[in-house]
Amino acid sequence: MGRLETSDKESVHLVENEIQARIDNIFSNLERLEILSSKEPPNKRQNAKLRVDQLKYDVQHLQTALRNFQHRRYLREQQERQREELLARTFTTNDSATTIPIDETLQYNESLQSAHRGMDELIGSGTNILQGLRDQRVTLKGTHKKILDVANMLGLSNTVMRLIEKRAFQDKFLMLGGMAVTCVIMFLVVQYLT
């Protein structure tokens, strides 16, 4: 690793490859050592496994140090390339490549804003409709209550009121059934006429 830090640009790859080969060789030897340590007598097995694990830990640190060095070297080389490109570049005034395509971006932004306004209007109208339905429900509940009060005041019996409510309940099912039959007839007419 010391040779790696002091090597020049041309030989750094050779030193890195040599270090990587040695690390790979150490890993393969450690695998064999691990197999051999499991064959030790029980009183020495734990100590042997501990030593093998310590060696593995040390080799992993060496591998990490090598990767860190390679990463730093790559960043240095990239910075040097960018510096050379920047120094080698010639600048001219009013180059045609300095135009910014702002019209497309502006049109895109305007279409996004109009879509946003449309969604806001849609949400606002939905809120107004929902509020209107709530108001109608409150009004209808109040009217229903007043009708019941008037009916009780007129002296209609509870039996008649239950019959009216039962009839309203049956009428609702008749209406739903009629709607379903109408939809089926409309579907059949459209199906056979087209």
If you ran DSSP here, which 8-state letter would residue 155 be given?
T
**Domain assignment present for 98:** no
**Domain assignment present for 100:** no
Q: What is the pLDDT of residue 185?
A: 93
Give the separation between CA 15 and CA 3, rounded to whole angstroms: 7
The enclosing H or E element of 35 equals: helix 12-38
Give the separation between CA 29 and CA 55, rounded to whole angstroms: 11
**Domain assignment present for 122:** no
Which of the two residues, 117 and 159, has the higher pLDDT score?
Answer: 117
Q: What is the pLDDT of residue 95?
A: 55
How many domains in the chain? 1
pTM exceeding 0.85: no
Q: What is the pLDDT of residue 155?
A: 65
Range of the domain at 74: 10-87+139-193
**Domain assignment present for 4:** no
Give the separation between CA 31 and CA 22, rounded to whole angstroms: 14
Which tens digits make up the pLDDT trace of 72-119? 888 988 999 999 988 887 766 665 555 566 778 888 889 999 999 999
